[in-house]
């Protein structure tokens, strides 16, 4: 059985670039696919493969960076490896906020377990904020949640500044796996907000641990892999990815006159120029030609 694991760890790394080749080779040698970000403030990854090989990666990461446990781990079984290749990315921050996560005083305060999340967000005095990108909120979100319509996480401080007149306000934040909330919560605590809560392990942890009948989640959860979206128990959802604009679309959209395989969907058809559509058609034809050539060589 194949597994998928998502994880992050805030740990200081002096020279992230030094680890790129070592871990790229490790992933390839152990037939693991997905991506790991190494940054000055820590590690963020999503990897899929055999459980035994994932265990080796976890052991290697802990030994290399001298920590005992990840800050958060979400894992599930998958029917296929939902990544095309192994990638190692080097960044200044695991999540860009223009502020490194380096103050342990505020680390992991007010993390709320999925079993307690419903009670919190149903309270009338709690402001529920989705800190993901706007299109992700439109695919699925929690009841009562505000979509700030912000696609650049670095602009979230501007949004929270609007709330700064009431720093006793209760704010409950959530994101896909929890890492955005860790940074946002730390940012707010340091600026005097007293009642900031975050969903432990993010939406993925909630979907894996709260029965569907009791769930306050509405819709599907976008994920950054070939599954596109997931639902309860991390089962693959019902969205496809448009090859033209690289945004999710519903399966019913393939029946739209504005849908063209590998070119456009109802969301982008009117936004694309004729030149762009032509380029996408040429790209699609080249892929088909490449596959036919590969198949003929294999038969030869």
Catalytic one of 76, 175, 265, 268: 175
Residue/partner pairs of 285-290 with CB below 8 Å, 24 or more apart:
287/262
245 catalytic residue (yes or no): no
- Catalytic amino acids? 175
């Amino acid at each position: 059985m194949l597994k998928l694991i998502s994880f992050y760890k805030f740990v200081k790394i002096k020279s992230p670039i030094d680890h790129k080749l070592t871990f790229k080779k490790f992933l390839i040698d152990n037939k693991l696919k997905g991506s790991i970000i190494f940054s000055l403030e820590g590690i963020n990854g999503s990897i899929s493969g055999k459980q035994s090989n994932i265990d080796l990666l976890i052991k290697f990461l802990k030994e290399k960076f001298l920590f005992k446990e990840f800050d958060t781990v979400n894992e599930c079984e998958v029917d296929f490896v939902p990544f095309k290749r192994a990638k190692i990315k080097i960044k200044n921050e695991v999540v860009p906020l223009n502020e490194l996560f380096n103050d342990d005083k505020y680390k992991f305060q007010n993390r709320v377990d999925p079993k307690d999340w419903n009670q919190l967000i149903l309270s009338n005095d709690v402001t529920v904020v989705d800190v993901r990108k706007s299109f992700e909120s439109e695919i699925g979100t929690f009841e009562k949640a505000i979509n700030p319509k912000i696609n650049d996480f670095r602009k979230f401080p501007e949004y929270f500044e609007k709330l700064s007149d009431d720093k006793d306000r209760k704010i409950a934040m959530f994101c896909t796996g929890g890492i955005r909330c860790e940074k946002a919560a730390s940012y707010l605590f340091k600026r005097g907000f007293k009642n900031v809560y975050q969903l432990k392990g993010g939406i993925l942890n909630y979907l894996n641990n709260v029965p569907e009948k009791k769930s306050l989640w509405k819709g599907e959860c976008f994920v950054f892999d070939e599954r596109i979206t997931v639902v309860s128990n991390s089962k693959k959802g019902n969205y496809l990815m448009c090859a033209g604009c690289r945004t999710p679309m519903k399966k019913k959209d393939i029946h739209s006159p504005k849908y063209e395989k590998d070119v456009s969907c109802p969301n982008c058809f009117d936004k694309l120029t004729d030149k762009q559509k032509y380029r996408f058609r040429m790209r699609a034809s080249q892929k088909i030609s490449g596959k036919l050539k590969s198949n003929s060589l294999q038969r030869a």
